[in-house]
Amino acid sequence: MGLHFGGLRKKVLKNFIIIIVLIVVIFEVFFAIFTTRYYYTSIRQTMLSQIRYIDTVYNASNMSNIDFNDRVRSILENQNSFQNTNVAINVIDRHGNLLIDQYGFNSNKTINYVDVKKALKNIYGSEMNTYIYEEDLTRENVMSASVPIRVNGITQGVIRFSVSLKYVNMEILKIMTYLFFMGLLVIVFSITLSLKFADSIIDPLHELKLFSNMLAKGNYNIKMNKGRISDDEIGDLANTFENMAQEIQKSEKLKDEFISSVSHELRTPLTSIKGWSETLELDNISKEELSMGLGIINDETERLIKLVEELLDFSRLSSNRMKLKVVEVNIENLVASVVNQLRAMAMNKNIRLSFEFLNQDMKLIYGDKDRLRQVLINLVQNSIKFTPDGGVISVKVDQTSNETSICVIDNGIGIDEKNIGNVSKKFFQEDFHKSGSGLGLAISEEIVKLHGGSLTINSKKNVGTQITITISNDSRKS
C-alpha cells in the first residue's frame, strides 16, 4: 500500500505524535527542573557550609577578646581554602558599607541586599539561607549568603559570600540543548515506528476493505491474503469475514435450491390442476373420471395452500411478526387428533402409526393450539414421507411439572450425520428429489422456541430418526 496520510493513518499518527511529544516535553521539563535544582543545591550547600564554618569558628566564645578587624583579617587570610569554589567574599561593616569587595579593594559602597540586612539584624540561625537576585550592573544572576561577625554579642559587621550563576546557567542551557536534540531524535524515531505500527493496523484493514468490496459485488469465493493479516483481533475479524462469506455462499446456494424446489412444487400441482380442469370440460367424461379429477384438483389445491402457508409463516418468522394465541390445550386430544388425521396417509404406505402417553396423568398446558398442531403434523408427515413401506412410526408424549415433550420416532431412511445440524435450517433439503419447500422443520423449530422450548434431532442413516420437541407447560411466561 502506498504511503499516504489520510483517513485512519492520519488519526493514528496524529495521536501517536501528540502522545510522544507530550511525553518528551514533560520529561525534558522535569529534567530541566531537576538539573537546575541539582546545580543550585550544590552551590547552596557549599556556601552554607562556609558561613556555618565562619559562624562556628569566629563567633565562638573563645574569640570574644579578638576585635572585628582581626577576625576579618583571619578570615581573608584563610580565603585560599575557598578559591577553588568560585565564591567571592565581601566584608561589610555594621552600617552596611562595603569595606572589602571580592577583589580585595576598599569601597564605601552601601550594600542593601536582603541577606546582608538580615545578618546585620542578627536574623539568621535556623533561618540562615541563600538568596538569588540580579545584579544591577552586570545583569547576572547571583546567589549569596551572609553571616554576622559579633564581638561581645554585638554585630560589628558581615561576611558575605556570593557566586555568579552565569556559567552555571550556561552549563544548564548546554545540557538542555543536548536534551532538546535528543528529544527531537526520539520524536523522529518514534514517528518512524508509528508509521510501521500504523501500517500493521491499516494493511489488514485495507485487505478487509478489498474483501468486503468483493463480497458486495457477489464474489463469495474470494480468499484473503493471509500474509497481510495479523494474528490478533483483526485476524479474528478477517476469519469472521471469511466465515460470513462461506455462510452467505451456502445461503445463496440454499436459496437457489429453494427457488428451484418451490418452482417445482408450484409447477407440479398447477400442471395437474390445469390438466384435469381441461379434462373435466370434455363432454364424454365419465362420473368416475369426474370424481377422480375433482379429487386430484382438491389434493393439489391443498398442497398449494400448504406451501403458501409455509412461505407466509417463514415471512412472519423472518420479520418477528409471528405471535402466539395462547389458550388452554389438552395435549392428549391434540396428539390423538393429529395421529388419527394422518393415519390414512400412513396406511397408504402400509406404515403402522401409533401414539403413547408415558405419563398417565397429563395436565392441560397453555400454548397456541393451532401452531402446536402445525408442528406435530409437520413432524409426523416428514416421518411418513421418509419411512419406506411397511415401516413403523411412534409418537410418545411425556410431561413433568414444568415441561411437556413429544417424541416422533420412525425407522425410516434417516439423516446423514453431517446433515443433522442443517435439516432444521431454512430451505435445507437433504434430498431435493422429495417434495417440500425445506421450510417445515425450520418453521417448527421457531414455533417451539416461541413456546419456550427446543427441538432436538437424533438420527442414523438407514436406521431411523427421532425428533423430540420440548415445550413449557405455560407459554404465557415465555
Q: Of 26-35, 194-203, 446-455, which gets the smallest average pLDDT? A: 194-203
Is residue 102 within 8 A of residue 88, CB to CB? The reply is: yes
Predicted local distance difference test score (pLDDT) of residue 365: 93
Residue at grid coordinates 536534551:
179
169 pLDDT above the threshold of 60: yes
Amino acid code (one letter) for 87: V
| pTM, to two decimals | 0.46
Does position 265 have pLDDT exceeding 90, yes or no? no
> What percent of the chain stands above pLDDT 70?
83
Of all residues in the chain, the percent with pLDDT exceeding 90 is 19
Compute the average pLDDT of residues 86-101: 83
> What mean pLDDT is reported for the chain?
80
Handedness of CA 32, 33, 38, 43 (dihedral sign): positive
Strands across the sheet containing 131-134: 98-100, 88-93, 154-164, 141-151, 131-134
Specify which of 226-240, 241-255, 406-420, 426-440 reaches the highest per-range mean pLDDT. Answer: 406-420
CA dist 434 and 393 (Å) reads 19
Residue 4 confidence (pLDDT): 47
pLDDT (average), residues 341-354: 91
- Taking 90 as the threshold, does the pLDDT of residue 429 lie above it? no
Give the span between the Cα atoms of 402 and 361, in whole angstroms: 14
Q: Average the pLDDT over 244-256 and give the result.
A: 74
pLDDT at 432: 45
Grid coordinates given for 261:
424446489
Q: Please report, for residues 22, 185, 197, 313, the alpha-carbon distance to residue 19 in angstroms, rounded to integers and kept in the order given.
A: 5, 15, 14, 57
Q: Is 82 exposed, middle or buried (0-12, 13-18, 19+ CB in 10 A)?
A: middle
Range in 55-59, 223-227, 435-439 with the lowest mean pLDDT? 435-439
Bridge partner list, 27: none
Higher pLDDT, 274 or 358: 358
What per-residue confidence (pLDDT) applies to 478? 61
Confidence band for 228, pLDDT divided at 50, 70 and 90: low
pLDDT at 5: 47
Greatest mean pLDDT range, 44-58, 256-270, 311-325:
44-58
- Give the mean model confidence (pLDDT) for residues 370-396: 91
pLDDT at 226: 61
pLDDT at residue 339, rounded to an integer: 92
Shortest CA distance to 242 belongs to which of 228, 257, 256, 225?
A: 225
In this structure, how many other beta carbons lie within 10 angstroms of the beta carbon of residue 5? 10
Higher pLDDT, 412 or 77: 412
pLDDT at 68 over 50: yes
**Whether residue 426 has pLDDT greater than 60:** no
Tally: H helices and E strands in the chain:
9, 12
User: How many of the other CB atoms lie within 10 Å of CB of 78?
Assistant: 12
